Chain A
């Protein structure tokens, strides 16, 4: 299996706080990897390392090596890296502009000006995000008028428009109702044919439903990393077992 991210001995500090301790993890291409664990265990922090969004935080320091496609992450230009590694946030964050402009935003920032090309990108991204049928008559309407679930799928479409290799999802369904959540999960299953997906989730059922691999985090450490099947059926570590059976956490 091909590795897309190779994370070795990563330590991360927010000022004095040691947030990630000796993380070692491989993320495989075209698979869905889920990060689970109690709040504040560092799973979102690790996710943000993967597209260097942590650079934006003033006193954040990362040590160790993260390789993306066999090249150190630090050697990439952040703009290129972030267009290859997209990110979907916890709560939907569409820009206050039209649906079309939202999706065309990324390509436009990267210099695509041709109206026809943009239109193609917008339509194909919306189709891939399973949103096209719902909004095709209203592409000029405000993105903020959409429902929460639609907004989140719009954000996924916005991500897809950049034609990334990897999509990082930071608890993408935590602000959504069960029906919208189901739709996103179906979408993830569809998207993993084309993209590598890393998803942070609090919902263990969700991890079992969508992911191929699962990493269990606690207090900044990876307790266990295995295929989802194995991790949930045969947890090797006592702490993992306690957490997934709900005895703890």
Chain B
């Protein structure tokens, strides 16, 4: 008796252990991604451009100095001479840098800095990064303030300088706004293409198609194509859709449109099978009830079948969006890996997933930014999955008592 209990509990413990492996691994991924990316993740990251804008500015005239006052926060260092405050920070690429955290309304730097490149006055803004500053002191000595020495020495240097020879500024950079927009474009175009095609195919297969070998072949081909590796779809896109759009003179080389077509053929099997399942669970007696009332097959399809399949269609839409967000292999081939800030449908670009690929392919792989993007992707996929569950729950609540 006792022996059996021991054996039973041994197997039980083993079962629990093995079944928890999946959850533990998932948890570890989350912990890894969050610990690496959480510090980089910010609203600024989402809204700013990937490519930096750099400015070389100068303030040639001798400035007599003001006596600005500002109540510094803990990590801020203020130059009362110029009326500007600096803070130590880490930029979106994960490098220690100095950021302008406050400018006094009467500071000469606000609108008085001359852009060396185009001789225009530059409007200095908070949240721009300072890479280096070269100032001239009272006695004509050069004061150099590189960002790596920190905000404290930067503020001290500014207090001693009376004019600025060069001020190197970096605006934005390392952001994912472009990739985010490209992802949204890709989702939009793909859904516009894949939903009508997929729903029509599902309606044909579950309602109109005769039960013969051709239909069976079609169904098994559709099931099979959902198992094709996505890189093969990427290849098809590269060899077929990219030249096609180029020939139509809407694009040169990679384009989001070609990406959308590639994703369409890749997602069709999923949309077809999910929609078909949703149609197949509609009770036959309701469909024959409609036909017995003298409604035509088309009326039955549009008034009974489609409205009842909408939860299933929504589920397939969300699944498709999830796949688009997560897809990388097929996208790299047809949309390229060059991160774009000005996204156009007929040009290449990166989605969030291929943005990570791009970052990790750089000379210095940027783990922090990659992890931050991974958080964005994981969160969107998580939210989509919750939505799928909620819709499935509503589907059960809505009517189906059969």
Contacts and interface: CB of A to CB of B under 8 A. Distances in A.
Interface stretch (A63-71, A102-110, A180-188, A240-248): A102-110
Interface stretch (B2-10, B164-172, B285-293, B342-350): B285-293
A93 interface: yes
A30 interface: no
Contacts of B293: 82-83, 86, 105-106, 109, 158-159, 162
B218 interface: no
B73 interface: no
Contacts of B71: none
Contact of A56 (B283, B291, B294, B295): B291
Contact of B211 (A58, A81, A87): A58
A53 B289 CA distance: 10
Interface in B267-320: 283, 285-286, 288-296, 299, 303-304, 308
B295 A109 contact: yes
21 contacts: A53-B291, A82-B293, A83-B294, A86-B292, A86-B293, A87-B292, A93-B288, A94-B289, A95-B286, A96-B286, A96-B308, A96-B398, A96-B399, A105-B303, A109-B293, A109-B296, A109-B299, A109-B303, A110-B294, A142-B399, A158-B289
B304 A95 contact: yes
Contacts of B211: 58
Interface in A102-134: 105-106, 109-110
A77 to B, nearest CB: 9
Interface of B: 210-211, 283, 285-286, 288-296, 299, 303-304, 308, 398-401
A144 B211 CA distance: 32
B309 to A, nearest CB: 12
Most buried by A among B285, B288, B294: B294
A96 to B, nearest CB: 4
A80 interface: yes
Contacts of B290: 95, 105, 109
A93 B289 CA distance: 7
A32 to B, nearest CB: 19
Contact of A89 (B285, B295, B303): B285
A162 B294 contact: yes
A110 B211 CA distance: 30
Contacts of B210: 58
A79 B398 contact: no
Contacts of A109: 290, 293-296, 299, 303
Interface of A: 51, 53, 56, 58, 78-83, 86-87, 89-91, 93-96, 105-106, 109-110, 142, 144, 155, 158-159, 162
A44 to B, nearest CB: 12
Nearest to B210: A58
Contact of A106 (B294, B308, B400): B294
A93 B283 contact: yes
Pairs A-B, 8 closest by C-beta atoms: A83-B294, A82-B294, A96-B399, A106-B293, A109-B295, A87-B292, A93-B285, A93-B289
A100 to B, nearest CB: 14
B294 A79 contact: yes
Most buried by B among A56, A86, A90: A56
Contact of B401 (A80, A110, A144, A162): A144
B295 A105 contact: yes
A80 B288 contact: no
Given A89-B285, A93-B283, A82 B308 contact: no
A89 B399 contact: no
B296 A51 contact: no
Contacts of A51: 292
Contacts of A78: 294
A104 B285 CA distance: 18
Contact of A80 (B294, B304, B308, B400): B294
B391 to A, nearest CB: 16
Contacts of A58: 210-211
Contacts of B401: 144
Contacts of B304: 95
Nearest to A151: B401
Contacts of A79: 294-296
A96 B398 CA distance: 8
A105 B308 CA distance: 15
Nearest to B289: A93
A129 to B, nearest CB: 14
B307 to A, nearest CB: 8
Contacts of A81: 294
A62 to B, nearest CB: 17
Given A95-B304, A144-B399, A53 B295 contact: no
A53 B288 contact: yes
Contacts of A86: 292-293
A215 to B, nearest CB: 22
Given A91-B285, A158-B289, 9 more contacts: A53-B291, A79-B294, A79-B296, A93-B288, A93-B289, A95-B290, A96-B308, A142-B399, A158-B293
Given A95-B286, A144-B401, A106 B291 contact: no
Nearest to B295: A109
A61 B243 CA distance: 52
Contact of B289 (A83, A89, A110, A142): A89
